């Protein structure tokens, strides 16, 4: 298929919504089949079924005049055809490309429906990279797929170290941290889906912080990880995993929860920095966050790290059915597609941490 301009528009609203509905059926089927391939089930029937699904998506997109979808799906068909013909064997990097494209198309459809900007999705860049993958020699295919995923998700190849000086940390009470951890565990025990989140979030936050040594105190960050969602326990459980838009009243209540946990920490002088992290972890650099609409440098580094960790945990939980590696891929792709929501300095370091984790996942035998 030749190069064509991507027209990101809704031509016929009713047809567009029809396509949104069928995509809500198709997308989980594509995900399931790709994940089956990743688990070692690479028989011809699975590949043929995936090819037919993609062909149906392309046909429906054309019929519903959602034309920008067509070249993306056509490129995936071309990639899959190389598998069907036996030209290449399936590798996770091929599945990563397929899931990444499907994810970006889903995010683009949602953005169009909600009249939001699509710039952060980098769809023209993704299209160019897909064309390069489709045209590359067999010997370069897997490397090109890996490069595409790294380029679009924003995962850097090198860590940029900071020479910032380290401030001497005050002697903090280990007993306080133990108590904060107990509170965090009480929250995670409220729902089965939350099991293990405290340790996951702590490890990820500390690994990210240590990419720029000295900027964030480890103990203050540890306290903030434990305490940042304690205020959620004061909200109805229906808020915790809510799907869809919140009402104005619900948004108001949600905006108050960081302040409740921060208020507890503020009354303990040794934890003033942790209190600030907790209070600000839903703020955004562009000023669209809550509760105070802070901008850029008004937000402390610990809060910026917590925002990334929180978002990553939420998306991996939502897509846990994909398996660890693919849910991580979806999470980091979605975070980088919403990069205006996050601080670029800490996003780069967070990406590096996730890149290392993805590499570790890739070295594990299928099914581990």
Task: Identify the pLDDT of residue 44.
Answer: 82
Task: Identify the pLDDT of residue 324.
Answer: 72
Token readout for 110 is 């949602």
Task: Identify the pLDDT of residue 169.
Answer: 36
Task: Identify the pLDDT of residue 172.
Answer: 45
Asked whether residue 346 is domain-assigned, the answer is: yes
pLDDT along the chain (368 residues), means of 10: 63 91 88 75 81 93 92 92 87 86 89 84 88 85 86 54 39 75 84 81 95 92 93 71 66 79 88 94 91 91 96 84 76 82 92 84 57
What residues make up the domain containing 274? 174-362
Asked whether residue 80 is domain-assigned, the answer is: yes
Asked whether residue 160 is domain-assigned, the answer is: no
Residue 263 CB contacts under 8 Å (≥ 6 apart), including other chains? 275
Task: Identify the pLDDT of residue 159.
Answer: 38
Task: Identify the pLDDT of residue 52.
Answer: 93
Q: Which of 118, 153, 188 is the last residue of a domain?
A: 153
Q: Which CATH number goes with the domain that contains 196?
A: 1.10.3210.10
277 in the same domain as 146: no
Asked whether residue 367 is domain-assigned, the answer is: no
Task: Identify the pLDDT of residue 3.
Answer: 47
341 in the same domain as 220: yes
Residue 188 CB contacts under 8 Å (≥ 6 apart), including other chains? 194, 195, 196, 197, 198
Task: Identify the pLDDT of residue 315.
Answer: 86
Task: Identify the pLDDT of residue 28.
Answer: 84
pTM: 0.59
Specify whether the CB–CB gap between 27 and 108 falls below 8 A: no
């Amino acid at each position: 298929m030749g190069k064509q301009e991507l027209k990101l528009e809704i031509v016929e609203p009713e047809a567009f919504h029809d396509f949104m509905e069928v995509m809500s059926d198709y997308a989980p089927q594509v995900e399931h089949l790709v994940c089956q391939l990743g688990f070692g089930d690479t028989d011809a029937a699975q590949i043929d079924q995936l090819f037919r699904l993609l062909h149906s998506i392309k046909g429906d997109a054309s019929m519903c005049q959602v034309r920008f979808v067509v070249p993306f799906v056509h490129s995936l068909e071309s990639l899959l055809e190389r598998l069907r013909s036996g030209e290449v064997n399936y590798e996770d990097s091929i599945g990563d490309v397929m899931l990444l494209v499907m994810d970006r198309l889903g995010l683009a459809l949602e953005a169009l429906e909600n009249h939001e900007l699509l710039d952060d999705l980098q769809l023209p860049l993704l299209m160019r990279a897909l064309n390069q993958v489709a045209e590359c020699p067999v010997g370069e295919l897997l490397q090109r797929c890996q490069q595409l995923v790294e380029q679009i998700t924003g995962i850097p190849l090198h860590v940029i170290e900071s020479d910032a000086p380290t401030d001497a940390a005050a002697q903090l009470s280990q007993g306080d941290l133990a108590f904060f951890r107990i509170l965090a565990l009480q929250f995670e025990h409220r729902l089965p889906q939350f099991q293990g989140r405290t340790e996951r979030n702590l490890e990820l936050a500390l690994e990210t912080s240590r990419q720029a040594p000295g900027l964030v105190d480890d103990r203050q960050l540890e306290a903030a990880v434990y305490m940042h969602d304690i205020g959620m326990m004061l909200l109805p459980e229906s808020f915790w995993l809510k799907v869809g838009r919140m009402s104005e009243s619900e948004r108001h209540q949600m905006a108050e929860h960081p302040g409740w946990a921060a208020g507890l920490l503020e009354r303990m002088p040794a934890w003033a920095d942790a209190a600030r992290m907790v209070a600000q972890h839903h703020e955004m650099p562009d000023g669209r966050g809550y509760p105070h609409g802070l901008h850029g440098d008004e937000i402390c580094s610990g809060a910026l790290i917590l925002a990334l960790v929180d978002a990553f945990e939420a998306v991996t939980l939502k897509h846990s059915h994909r398996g660890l590696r693919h849910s991580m891929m979806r999470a980091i792709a979605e975070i980088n597609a919403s990069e205006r929501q996050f601080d670029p300095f800490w996003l780069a370091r967070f990406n590096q941490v996730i890149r290392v984790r993805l590499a570790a996942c890739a070295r594990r035998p299928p099914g581990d």
